[in-house]
Amino acid sequence: MTTRATGTPKFVGFANFARIARDTVFKTAIVNTFVYVGGKLLLTLPIAFMLAFLLSKNTRLNATGQSIIFTPTIMSSAVMALIFYLLFNTYNGEINRFLTWLGIIDENVNWLGVKYAMLTCIIIAAWGGIGNYMVYFIAGLTGISTEVYESANWMVRMQPRSCSALPSLCWPPS
Amino acid sequence: MKMILMLALVISFMDYQSIMVLTEGGPMNQTNVMFLYIYQLFFPITAGSSVVPGVWLWRSLQFGGSVDHRWCHWPVSDSRQAAGRSDR
């Protein structure tokens, strides 16, 4: 088959796979992907669980809180990144200004530089994802019967309620 | 919990748009993730192009201090300005 765009195709076997295996940037990209995914999960899931636990009771205040936290999820990630581009700007960014005002940093930090770029990306992605996972966790938490909490409280009075909810969420009774 | 973990994992692997807008995989491939690399392989983004608004956004911040009329115009890339060509 010959087309004007591609010319005559030529069978290359596994040459493309060999090429990608030699590509050092691709190897770096794979490592970065796992760092990014791991960092995002480690940051997102615990915070989402905490928020879900705090806001799981069916009150008007909690519903408002859930709506506020869920808002970043419906925002386009490109728009979100642009907003954070302004916030994390080295010279005019509000984050640097705020940290300087608090006295935490003396000179402006380059948040999108070599040292902190991945961390910044993870923080931004986590901010966008927390609301989504919070809803999932709330759905899971509302499925746990009150008897589980009562029995857990009877066993250990001082144990926080979240500790008794987590096993039921991980291993739900069949 | 397993379902949530699975969803989180899949969504995290697919997410590259915010990185593309923020850093384009840089600096020195520090934030270059797999899908962004593949995307850039097919649709290369050159430095100073008008695809990512980093350059003109930066200029707005540098000279204006806030968002001003420059936002309304489609930016002319640096290479085109240097070559003295119009943005058509």
The model's pLDDT over A109-123, given as tens digits with 9 standing for 90+, comes to 888 888 899 999 999
Q: A151: which 2 tokens? A: 């029995």
pLDDT for A143 equals 77
User: For the ranges A10-19, A80-89, A159-168, B61-70, which has the lowest average pLDDT?
Assistant: B61-70
Ramachandran quadrant class, A13 (left: phi over 0; alpha: psi -120 to 50; beta: rest): left
Predicted ipTM? 0.70
Half-sphere exposure of A142 (CA within 13 A, CB side): 11
Nearest Cα of chain B lies from the Cα of A67 at a distance, in angstroms, of 20
Residue A7 — φ and ψ, nearest 5°?
80, -155
Mean pLDDT of A63-77: 88
Q: In chain B, which residues have their Cβ closer than 8 Å to the Cβ of A34?
A: none
**Most confident range, picked from A31-35, A159-163, B67-71:** A31-35
Q: How far is B29 from chain A (nearest CA, A)?
A: 7
Residue B47: predicted pLDDT: 53
Q: Where are the alpha helices (DSSP H) in A88-145?
A: 94-102, 117-142
B49 Cα to chain A: minimum distance (Å): 17
State the pLDDT at residue A36: 93
Q: How many CB atoms lie within 10 A of CB A64?
A: 11
Give the whole-angstrom CA distance, residue A140 versus residue B16: 28
Collect all residues of chain B within an 8 Å Cβ-Cβ radius of residue A130. none
Of B1, B8, B18, Cβ closest to residue A77: B18
Q: Check B8 against A133: CB less than 8 A apart.
A: yes
Evaluate the CA torsion angle A164, A130, B2, A122 in order and state its sign. negative
- pLDDT level of residue A172 (50, 70, 90 thresholds): low
In order along its 88 residues, chain B shows pLDDT tens digits of 788 888 888 888 888 888 888 888 878 888 889 888 888 888 876 555 444 445 545 555 555 444 444 444 444 444 444 444 444 3
pLDDT tens digits, one per residue of A86-110: 999 888 889 999 999 998 888 888 8
Q: How many residue pairs bridge chain A and chain B with CB atoms within 8 Å of each other? A: 117
pLDDT at B82: 46
Mutation target among A27, A37, A169 for the B interface, most CBs of B within 10 A: A37
pLDDT > 90: percent of chain A: 28
- At A43 the pLDDT is 93
Choose between A168 and B64: higher pLDDT.
A168
DSSP, collapsed to helix, strand or coil, labels residue B12 as helix
- Nearest C-alpha in A relative to B6: A41
Looking at the DSSP bridge assignments, the partners of residue A7 are A3
Query: A-chain residues within 8 Å CB-CB of B31?
Result: 32, 36, 117-118, 121
Task: Say whether B8 and A44 touch across the interface (CB within 8 A).
Answer: yes
CA–CA dist B37, A32 (Å, integer): 11
Query: pLDDT of A124-155, one tens digit each?
Result: 999 988 999 999 898 888 877 777 777 766 66
Q: At what angle do helices A117-142 and A24-54 cross, to 10 degrees?
A: 40
Contact B57, A85 (CB under 8 A): yes
Helix axes A117-142, B2-14, angle to 10 degrees: 150
pTM above 0.80, yes or no: no
pLDDT value at residue A10: 84
**A84 contacts B4? CB cut-off 8 A:** no
- Please say if the pLDDT value at position A161 is more than 80: no
